[in-house]
Every structure is written in C-alpha cells, then in structure tokens.
Amino acid sequence: MKRKRLFVGLDLPESVRQSLNALDPHLHGVRWMKPEQIHLTLSFLGSVESAAEEILRERLAAIRMAPFFLPLQRLGSFPARGQPQVIWIGVGAGHPQLFYLHKRVQDAALAAGLEPDLRPWHPHITIARCKDVFAESVRPFLKKHADFDGGLVRVNSFALYSSEPRESGSIYARELTVTG
C-alpha cells in the first residue's frame, strides 16, 4: 500500500516568507529554510497509508474556520538553553482561533486512524535548522532579533502537504487546501 509523509500547515504570504528568509545571518552550521519551505505546522502526521489519507482529506475538508490575523512576534531557538537545533519566529502567546484550528486538525487525524503528535503544542514558524552549532555562535543574532515584529498575517486557509526529505531540505507538495 502506498504511503506519503504528511503534515498540515498554514501558508504565509510570499512577501513574509521572503522577509523571514532575508534575516539569514549566514552562520556556519545554520541551514536557513528556503522561502517555499517556511510555514506553520499545525500537525505532523508522518508516514500515512493512502486509505487513511482519503479519510483524512474528507475530515480536513469538513473543517470550517473564521479568518483571523496571526501576529509574527519574537525570535528564539529550541531548545531555549544549550545547543540550538531550531531557530523560530513566534506567533503570539495563545491565539484562540489558531488553537481551535489545531484541535480540529488533530481530531481529523484521529478520526482517520492516525496518531498525531500529542505532545504539548508550541506554535512557531521554523526559519532555520542547526547542526553542531554552539549557542555562543548564534546568541548575538538571537539577541539582536529577540523583539522581532513581523506584523500580522491573515489566515483564511490551511493545507495538507506531502513532504519528501532531501539532504538540502524537504520538498513540499500541496495535497489539499481548505478555505474557511
């Protein structure tokens, strides 16, 4: 049976993705995301069989959402202490519509027989991945941009994506778009 590596995410406007890409400090060991890779993940689903994907598509297509604005605020890294693995842009402290949408996506995944990541969700936009990078080498960049304010982004849809991992970064393909 055919399988795809799937996730559900929010797109960002091209202008926002370009401005986030322009923050790249070109540090050794920090792989900046290509603009077409920058998004907010609502749920990573992993390798999914085609039968479950069909149910998932139906459940996702049934989700209704009111458009909302998402603030792009702050810049940080995971983990917060020690050797960084991810550099991210925050999206505010607790946006109710975003958390509602996340819950509905998780419910759709469960209804399709999938086991989404059930760890506490910390919404963010990954802008870089780090490998063998010392905290001291990225600290000046993080400090300089800690109070980053990217304005508001209008959210009126979400999408199901397939992801094909590559050494230079995953290639994403939009499988389904759901508009409020």
Place of tokens 């995953």: 170
- pLDDT for the residue 14: 96
Residue 176 CA neighbour count, 13 Å, CB half: 16
d(CA 175, CA 98): 21
pLDDT reading at 32 higher than 80: yes
Query: 99 with 106: CB under 8 angstroms?
Result: no
Q: Mean per-residue pLDDT for 24-29?
A: 95
List, for residues 118-146, the tens digit of each pLDDT value.
788 999 999 999 999 999 999 999 999 99
Task: Provide the residue ranges of all domains of the chain, joining segments of one domain with +.
Answer: 3-179
Q: Please state which of the ranges 50-59, 89-98, 148-157 shows the lowest mean pLDDT.
A: 89-98
- pLDDT for the residue 119: 82
Query: 101 with 68: CB under 8 angstroms?
Result: no
List, for residues 76-129, the tens digit of each pLDDT value.
999 978 899 999 999 987 689 999 999 999 999 999 999 877 788 999 999 999
Which of 71, 76, 83 shows the shortest CA–CA distance to 151?
A: 71
In the chain, how many H helices and how many E strands? 4, 9
Instruction: Measure CA 174 to chain center.
Output: 14
In angstroms, the Cα distances linking 132 to 21, 64, 75, 126 are 21, 42, 20, 17
Residue 174's H or E segment, with its range, is strand 171-179
Query: 15 with 38: CB under 8 angstroms?
Result: no
Q: Mean per-residue pLDDT for 156-180?
A: 91
pLDDT reading at 166 higher than 90: no
Domain 3-179: state its class: alpha beta
- pLDDT for the residue 1: 67
Q: What is the mean pLDDT of the chain?
A: 93
d(CA 107, CA 1): 24
In angstroms, the Cα distances linking 178 to 7, 42, 125, 158, 175 are 14, 13, 20, 5, 10
119: tokens are: 């760890």
pTM, full prediction: 0.91
